[in-house]
Chain A
Amino acid sequence: MIQVLRAGLCDLVMDQGRPGRGALGVPVGGAADPAALAAANRLVGNDATAAGLEITLRGPGLRFPLGGVVALTGARFAATRSSGAAAGWGETLVLAAGETLNLEQAETGCRCWLALRGGLAVPPVMGSRSTFLPAGFGGYRGRALWAGDMLASSATAGAVRLLRARAPAIERDAPLRVVAGPQAGQFNDVGLLAFFAGNYRVEAASDRRGLRLGGPAVTHARAELPSQGVLPGAVQVPPDGRPIVLGWDGPVTGGYPVIAGVIAADMVKLAQLRPGDAVRFATIELERARSLATEQWEIEELT
């Protein structure tokens, strides 16, 4: 059980999302780095599909009235425990009854994930416990956590193992790798050059629906198209020429030209971009992108 003493900026209950509902207009959603949440779950002995918390930029103050086994993965946040023990990242943490875990600002990156042994017991909606904020369903009452909320967890059997997880290495400063989008051919040379050679910045008005980018305007002639299916990572260019990278809760169809698509392997980097961060794009051959192996988290006994 978790008692929210102080809410963070946007604490959302998330699991691996609700794939297969695109025809209803419902995106997959779920943790922005599903592998990081899955790793946190493994550290506490949960199934990888259990629900945990996705914490963004500034974390919450959480009390564990009954104690609990917890793990944190993703971006490091300033964090303290009332017991004085270290709140380490990527390892099994055993919290005493009544202990509090205080998460402050993200030190690097944007998002971290917290798993609690047993998993967060919110009712599944359309096959998932993930919060879908744009339509206000799923997760904890369809919203971000507030102070005073109480989150239950399911009971689990079996011994607690103390484990450590090692995240796959990512090059933080490398450009986001993209493949050319379906309408890349509609942009003139000026627009293409602006986009592929430009330096962009993540704007404050960014969220899980999309990252808005400030920088060189990407000009194009046609503003509206017949709507087409889009995935998270698609870079749409509205008439004002300011690119938007669609996020995990973005629409499943869009009517703006798509100049490029962030490849699946680099979506974890997108998950850690925060307002003000610099963004550059680099093209990669589609077949090469498709052949990249999925990065693996390594889990080992804590010694």
Chain B
Amino acid sequence: MQAPIIRGICKMQEGALFLMENDTRAPSQSHPAWRWISDRGLRVETGDSTLTRYVALISLNLPEIEDIIPADGCLFLVFRRGAGLSENLRSALIAPLAGMPVTNGTLHEIVVEYGGGAGPDLPALAERAGLDAAAYINSHAAVEYSVAFLGFQPGFPYLHGLPCALHTPRRASPRLRVAAGSVAIGGGYTGIYSASGPGGWQIIGHTTAVMFDPQRDAPALLMPGDRVRFVPR
């Protein structure tokens, strides 16, 4: 399969964006760079080890940290008001991650109804990719994705692994209402809307899987590090 190679190329592109976006402090090999980006927020460049570093930091339960939010190649540390970077945290940020287990989460199979009313943007996206609808669906469903992080809505997964040919910018004008369960593409990610609401991603299908239920013991169906396969219905 070409997927791993394609994935590698995508990663390189994201890395390039990342360096452009960032200032002079390129992430070092030995430990991540960090900088304050608001009076309570510290951004830590973690690259491919984002989730491993997240697990290492969150398990310390540091009193100055209110929360840690994983995102794309970086962690966002939210400090309690007035708290600063303690020596404990500084040590944890530069501690090597060697020996830490690589996250290899649960594999979920998500059944998707592609196209039609469930995926109104699929025809245009297939045409853009130079594929017929069936080939487009096969391409989207052939890959094993990994959950990079949750954001935008509670339980909304940003999945890594989308083949480059399927990368598509978000819609120029967002829809006022996207149904919960919509399977969508936004830039280099694919994702699943966990709640109904406004949204700008391209909708290619729909799943009946409940992505987020605050009453469940584990409210989010997919967690960062989990793996996902889409199964066409």
A19 to B69, CA, bound (A): 11
Interface size class of B (residues with CB under 8 A): 35 or more
Contacts of B150 in A (CB 8 A): 23-25
Q: A20-B67, A234-B38 are in contact. Are A294 and B82 (CB under 8 A)?
A: yes
CB distance from A234 to the nearest CB of B (A): 7
Contacts of A217 in B (CB 8 A): none
Interface status of A230 (Cβ within 8 A of chain B): yes
The proximity string for B residues 64-107 relative to A, scoring 1 for CB distances below 8 Å and 0 otherwise, is: 00111111111110100110100000000000000000000000
Q: Select the stretch in A83-91, A101-109, A111-119, A178-186 that faces chain B.
A: A178-186
Contacts of A258 in B (CB 8 A): 37
Contact A24 B220 (CB under 8 A): yes
Interface status of A227 (Cβ within 8 A of chain B): yes
Contact A25 B67 (CB under 8 A): no
A155 to B41, CA, bound (A): 39
CB distance from A204 to the nearest CB of B (A): 16
Contacts of B39 in A (CB 8 A): 179, 261, 263-264, 286, 289-290
Q: Which residue of A lies closest to B189 (CB)?
A: A227
Q: Which residue of A lies closest to B39 (CB)?
A: A289
Q: A182-B37, A252-B69, A264-B40 are in contact. Are A227 and B149 (CB under 8 A)?
A: yes
Interface status of B214 (Cβ within 8 A of chain A): yes
Q: Which residue of A lies closest to B197 (CB)?
A: A134
Q: A224-B187, A229-B43 are in contact. Are A126 and B71 (CB under 8 A)?
A: no
Contact B21 A229 (CB under 8 A): no
Q: Which of A22, A134, A181 contacts B153 (CB 8 A)?
A: A134
Interface status of B229 (Cβ within 8 A of chain A): no
Contacts of B73 in A (CB 8 A): 226
Contacts of A229 in B (CB 8 A): 41, 43, 69-71, 74-76, 78
Q: A224-B169, A226-B17, A261-B39 are in contact. Are A253 and B68 (CB under 8 A)?
A: no
Contact A228 B72 (CB under 8 A): yes
Contact B68 A23 (CB under 8 A): yes
Q: Select the stretch in B112-120, B127-135, B154-162 that faces chain A.
A: B154-162
Interface status of B30 (Cβ within 8 A of chain A): no
Interface status of B8 (Cβ within 8 A of chain A): no
Q: A134-B195, A263-B38 are in contact. Are A183 and B154 (CB under 8 A)?
A: no
Q: A230-B76, A261-B39, A264-B39 are in contact. Are A23 and B70 (CB under 8 A)?
A: yes
Contact A226 B41 (CB under 8 A): no
Contact B195 A136 (CB under 8 A): yes
A134 to B187, CA, bound (A): 24
Q: Which of B14, B66, B71, B215 contacts A253 (CB 8 A)?
A: B71
Interface status of A21 (Cβ within 8 A of chain B): yes
Interface status of B205 (Cβ within 8 A of chain A): no
Contact B81 A264 (CB under 8 A): yes
CB distance from A223 to the nearest CB of B (A): 8
Give the 6 A-B residue pairs with the shortest CB-CB distance, closest first. A229-B76, A253-B151, A261-B38, A226-B72, A229-B69, A22-B69
Q: Give B residues with C-beta under 8 Å from A.
A: 14, 17-18, 21, 23, 35-41, 43, 54, 58, 66-76, 78, 81-82, 84, 149-156, 158, 169-170, 186-187, 194-195, 197, 212, 214-215, 219-220, 224
Q: Can you report 16 residue pairs joining A to B where beta carbons are below 8 Å apart?
A: A22-B67, A23-B54, A23-B224, A24-B154, A25-B153, A28-B66, A136-B195, A227-B72, A228-B71, A253-B149, A253-B151, A253-B158, A254-B151, A264-B81, A290-B82, A293-B82
- Besides the known contacts A24-B154, A264-B81, 6 further A-B residue pairs in the complex with CB atoms under 8 A apart: A20-B67, A25-B151, A132-B154, A138-B214, A231-B76, A261-B37
